[in-house]
Amino acid sequence: MRVVRAHAPGVVLAATDFSDTSLPAVEAGRAEADRLGVGFLILHAVEVRVLALEAPDSVSSRMMTRLLESEIESSKSRLEQLRKQYAADDTILSVGSPAEAILEEAARLRASWIIVGTHGRSGFQRLTLGSVAESVLRRAPCSMLIVRLGTVR
């Protein structure tokens, strides 16, 4: 799905959660940046709420801090791999809500495009799990492309 809004030329911002679903969005982001002749950045947000939900109740705050630090280090490494693989100009690692991180960085960078992947959930799953792509789409300050798994070659 493409939503095109009027904007000045700026960078292309591709967001990833490192899932197979999000990688076609990174690939599409690289292609769009090449087409436009603009910079290309890859963003990942470490969502603390998800880490807390996945941790057993017996996990202390000190252990949660270590878990978060470990997740941040792992994410830095994965972002660097993607930066090299897709020849991105830079990467952005944020801690917090993915939708908020994408929107904040797109506004800060004056991005011309936001590109995200989607799991393609519908119905009850979409209602209960929410959709980062939909949340960003509703408030995006620029054009946006939502890519489904397997749609980019």
Output 26-29 pairs: Cβ under 8 A, ≥24 positions apart: 26/82, 26/86, 26/115, 27/86, 27/152, 28/115, 28/145, 28/147, 28/152, 29/86, 29/113, 29/115
* Residue 125: per-residue pLDDT: 44
Q: How many CB atoms lie within 10 A of CB 95?
A: 14
Q: For Cα atoms 46, 145, 113, give the angle at the middle one, nearest 5 degrees.
A: 80
Cα dist from 28 to 12, 51, 71, 86, whole Å = 10, 28, 26, 10
At 76-95, the pLDDT tens digits run 999 999 999 999 999 999 99
The domains of the chain are located at 2-148
Q: Where are the beta strands (DSSP E) in 70-153?
A: 90-95, 113-118, 143-148
pLDDT given for residue 3 in this prediction: 58
The DSSP element (H or E) to which 13 belongs, if any, is strand 12-15
CATH homologous superfamily of 2-148 equals: HUPs (3.40.50.620)
Rounded-to-integer distance, Cα 3 and Cα 46, Å: 26
Q: What is the pLDDT of residues 85-133, one digit of tens each?
A: 999 999 999 998 999 999 999 999 999 999 998 866 554 444 433 588 8
- Higher pLDDT: 5 or 15? It is 15
Rg (CA), the chain: 16
Tokens encoding 86: 């897709």
- Cβ atoms of 44 and 79 closer than 8 Å: yes
